Chains A and B, each alone.
Chain A
Amino acid sequence: NAGVTQTPKFQVLKTGQSMTLQCAQDMNHEYMSWYRQDPGMGLRLIHYSVGAGITDQGEVPNGYNVSRSTTEDFPLRLLSAAPSQTSVYFCASSYSRTEKLFFGSGTQLSVL
Chain B
Amino acid sequence: DAKTTQPPSMDCAEGRAANLPCNHSTISGNEYVYWYRQIHSQGPQYIIHGLKNNETNEMASLIITEDRKSSTLILPHATLRDTAVYYCIVRLADDKIIFGKGTRLHILP
Residue ranges of A at the interface with B (Cβ–Cβ < 8 Å): 4, 31, 33, 35, 41-45, 48, 50, 56, 58-59, 88, 90, 92, 97-98, 100-106
Closest to B31 in A: A98
Q: What is the CB-to-nearest-CB distance from B77 to chain A, in angstroms, rounded to a whole number?
A: 23
Total contacts A-B at CB 8 Å:
58
Contact pick for B41, options A33, A35, A58, A88, CB 8 Å = A88
Contact pick for B96, options A41, A58, A88, A90, CB 8 Å = A58
Q: How far is the CA of A32 from the CA of B43 in the complex (A)?
A: 14
Residue ranges of B at the interface with A (Cβ–Cβ < 8 Å): 2, 32, 34, 36, 41-46, 49, 85, 87, 91, 94-102
Residue contact A90 to B43, C-beta cutoff 8 Å: yes
Q: How far is the CA of A56 from the CA of B97 in the complex (A)?
A: 12
Contact pick for A41, options B91, B95, B101, CB 8 Å = B101
Beyond contacts A43-B99, A92-B43, A103-B45: 16 other A-B pairs, Cβ-Cβ < 8 A, are A4-B43, A42-B87, A44-B99, A50-B95, A56-B95, A58-B96, A59-B98, A90-B43, A97-B91, A98-B91, A100-B34, A100-B46, A101-B44, A101-B46, A103-B43, A106-B42
Contact pick for A31, options B36, B46, B95, B99, CB 8 Å = B95
